[in-house]
């Protein structure tokens, strides 16, 4: 669809459509199907696939109008949009027909099956095996740190299909049915008390031939698309419909959906260090009168503000239609350093009491939860070391480290 878009036209078209269609007492699934059909749920997508071919720079205008009406957007929580964007970029028309609508309406839940016990940071080192036998792929192996696997309908699976080529060339990307008998999901209890992640075992699980994404051996390229969206700090439609109201049954439905899907992420603010609590805690404990504490607190606030500016720059570039730059890895690494600095400040302001959990601890144990949660941010979504390598090689132009894992993957020494 070739349309001469302008900000005023987008605003007028969205506003008129919402006036004609938005109903806060509609069924959530009915509303989202209407929204998907309109193209305003994911407006930057192609018109053939539930979008309107809107330039990315005008997407925030759509967000503003949805917020003005308090209108609910498409389903976005969890891995859903990673799956949708990956299939939009690499999937077949059959796969897009099968999955995209039901992802956006929220009818199906997804998980991401990348990390393994022996290859967490080395994504290309996966050893979960997929072998074609007749009309299906047979999968055997193990994945770990898989959020929402316990209630997922489908998973994005990276598996090894060729052991006789270098490791980056021997992987293939699949969509796998998580409800079949050959998939065993087991929750993992964390030291902060939560059980957000799972380990997943595959024992002769099957994947139809038409559920392979892109060509055999192109798994690394497809996975990079998924990770690009995972690391992207700013999404132009994030928070669609933030202006929530209470007068409408659709909000109750959405709240129930959100409670289910966000439950694994409830400790993520603590993982990020809770910078928002730092100044109040320093004032409440009078530790702000200590010059060393003030120094560390000031350093924390400066680091946080610089990261905020970098994220704003990335968001502005995205709104102008520019491709993702190094901001993803820079932001990921910065957030890790900020969380560690926040942990240091919280420890200085709360002292030994920071180790007390529950009602005995500061803020009913919240500070202790921060101490236990922050280490995870240096691992999740690519370790600090991986982000430093990406920045060194792709931003600073430094030489790559010597590799000892070239050649056929079956000959590479593994842990």
- What is the average pLDDT value for the chain, to the nearest integer? 90
Q: Are residues 194 and 206 in the same domain?
A: yes
Same domain (yes/no): 334, 384 = yes
Q: Is residue 218 part of a domain?
A: yes
Number of domains forming the structure of the chain: 3
Domain boundary among 189, 217, 236: 236
Same-domain status, 170 and 276: no
- The 10 Å Cβ neighbour count of residue 66 is 24
Q: What is the pLDDT of residues 134-149, one digit of tens each?
A: 899 999 999 999 988 9
Q: What is the structure's pLDDT at 78?
A: 79
Tell me, what's the pLDDT at 324?
60
Contact between 83 and 100 under an 8 Å Cβ cutoff? The reply is no
Assess whether 391 and 290 both reside in one domain: yes
Residues 31 and 139 in one domain: no
- The 10s digit of each residue's pLDDT in 185-221 is 999 998 888 888 999 999 999 999 999 999 999 999 9
Question: How far apart are the C-alpha atoms of 324 and 327, rounded to whole Å?
Answer: 7
- Give the three-state DSSP class for 113: strand
Query: pTM for the complete prediction?
Result: 0.84
Q: Please, what is the Cα angle at 117 between 113 and 122, to 5 degrees?
A: 75
- Regarding whether 358 and 389 lie in a shared domain, the answer is yes
Residue 169 near residue 102 (C-beta atoms within 8 A): no
Tell me the residue range of the domain where 223 lies: 110-236
For residues 305 and 343, state if they share a domain.
yes
Residues 296 and 313 in one domain: yes
- Here the tokens at position 205 are 């699980």
Closest C-alpha among 385, 188, 182, 349 to residue 273: 349
Position 239 pLDDT exceeds 60:
no
Find the CATH number of the domain harbouring 282.
1.20.140.10
317 and 347 within one domain: yes
Pick from 376, 382, 379: nearest CA to 193:
376
């Amino acid at each position: 669809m070739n349309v001469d878009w302008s900000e005023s036209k987008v605003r007028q078209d969205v506003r008129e459509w919402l006036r004609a269609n938005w109903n806060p007492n509609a069924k959530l699934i009915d509303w989202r199907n209407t929204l998907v059909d309109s193209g305003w749920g994911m407006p930057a997508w192609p018109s053939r696939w539930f979008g309107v071919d809107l330039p990315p720079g005008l997407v925030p205008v759509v967000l503003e109008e949805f917020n003005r009406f308090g209108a609910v957007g498409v389903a976005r929580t969890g891995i859903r949009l990673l799956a949708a964007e990956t299939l939009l970029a690499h999937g077949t028309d059959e796969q897009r027909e099968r999955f995209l609508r039901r992802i956006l309406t929220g009818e199906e839940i997804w998980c991401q099956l990348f990390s393994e016990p022996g290859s967490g940071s080395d994504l290309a080192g996966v050893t979960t095996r997929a072998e074609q036998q007749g009309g299906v792929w047979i999968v055997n192996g193990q994945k770990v740190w898989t959020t929402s696997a316990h209630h997922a309908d489908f998973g994005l699976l990276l598996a090894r299909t060729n052991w006789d080529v270098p490791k980056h060339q021997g992987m293939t990307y699949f969509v796998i049915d998580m409800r079949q008998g050959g998939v065993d999901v087991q929750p993992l209890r964390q030291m902060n008390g939560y059980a957000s992640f799972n380990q997943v075992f595959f024992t002769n699980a099957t994947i139809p031939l038409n559920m392979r994404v892109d060509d055999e051996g192109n798994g690394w390229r497809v996975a990079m698309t998924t990770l690009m969206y995972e690391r992207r700090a700013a999404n132009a439609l994030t928070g669609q419909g933030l202006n929530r109201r209470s007068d409408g049954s659709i909000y109750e439905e959405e709240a129930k959906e959100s409670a289910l899907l966000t439950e694994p992420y409830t400790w993520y603010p603590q993982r990020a260090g809770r910078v928002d609590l730092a100044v109040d805690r320093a004032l409440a404990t009078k530790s702000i009168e200590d010059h060393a504490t003030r120094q560390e607190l000031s350093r924390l606030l400066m680091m946080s503000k610089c990261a905020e500016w970098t994220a704003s720059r990335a968001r502005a570039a995205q709104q102008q239609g520019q491709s993702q730059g190094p901001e993803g890895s820079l932001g990921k690494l910065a957030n890790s350093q900020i969380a560690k600095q926040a942990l240091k400040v919280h420890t200085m302001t709360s002292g030994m009491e920071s180790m007390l959990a529950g009602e005995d601890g500061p803020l009913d144990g919240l500070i202790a939860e921060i101490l236990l949660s922050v280490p995870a941010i240096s691992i999740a979504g690519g370790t600090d070391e991986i982000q430093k390598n990406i920045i060194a090689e792709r931003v600073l132009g430094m030489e790559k480290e010597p590799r000892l894992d070239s050649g056929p993957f079956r000959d590479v020494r593994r842990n």
